[in-house]
Copies of this chain bind each other. A is one copy, B any other.
Amino acid sequence: MRNINPDLRVIRTKESIRHALVELINEKGLEAITVKDITTMAKINRGTFYAHYQDKYDLMIKCEEDIMIDMSKITKQNYPSVIAALETDSQNLAPFSFAVSLFEYLNINSGFMKAVLGPKGDLSFQTRLKQFMWETLYGNNPNAFLKEENFLVPGQYLAAYMGTAIIGVIQQWLESGRKESPQEMARILTNLTVNGPYFAAGLKK
């Protein structure tokens, strides 16, 4: 991935910077943070920060990229089984196992994810995450999960609907303290997605 140059000082510095970033986002929100805040909390010199990152946005993007890479890996691991499930008659189970993997990952990285997806987090990350989700579901590849010729609404709105809805459920889970297990969250999310919110609200027979 990046340079394999693990000078211990660099590792320590970057770790304390990223730890401080999460703390500060939860405390005062991304936009209120100054580079000085970060370096004070990380107990490093301000000049050292600039030796590693251009500014706080550069730091954010680097952190977020790591998350996206992980998510790509999870997606690729789950891809074959989901495709297989979709081709059988147990369609409803197809997204379930994938959703479990997703929530398990979020659970492990909940510190950063809660901060960055929370109400004081990074709006641009949500935009990129939506884009990533849509490409996962409906990418360039010929055997994508979704095929536009079957859509009942324009693809862009289907994408926006699904992407934001999924992120919304994730946000709520992180925000309310992750009381449900990843399995339970996967059940909730697939129920909402497969049957729709109208049904899940008890408004439909």
Contacts and interface: CB of A to CB of B under 8 A. Distances in A.
Interface of A: 31, 86, 91, 119-121, 123-124, 127, 130, 146-147, 149-154, 156-165, 167-169, 171-173, 176, 180, 188-189, 191-204
B156 A176 contact: yes
Given A130-B168, A193-B196, A195-B198, A188 B154 contact: yes
B164 A168 contact: yes
26 contacts: A31-B31, A91-B203, A119-B124, A120-B124, A121-B123, A130-B168, A152-B191, A152-B195, A152-B199, A152-B200, A152-B202, A157-B169, A157-B189, A157-B192, A158-B201, A159-B172, A160-B169, A161-B168, A161-B200, A164-B169, A164-B171, A165-B165, A193-B196, A195-B198, A196-B196, A196-B198
A59 to B, nearest CB: 15
Nearest to A86: B203
Contacts of A153: 188, 191-192, 200
A180 B153 CA distance: 12
Contacts of A191: 152-153
Nearest to A119: B127
Nearest to A203: B91
Nearest to A154: B188
A151 B173 CA distance: 17
A165 B130 CA distance: 12
Contacts of A123: 119-121, 123
A162 B197 contact: yes
The interface centre, meaning the residue of A146, A152, A159 with most chain B CB atoms within 10 A of its CB, is A152
A148 B197 CA distance: 13
A165 B164 CA distance: 5
A164 B162 CA distance: 9
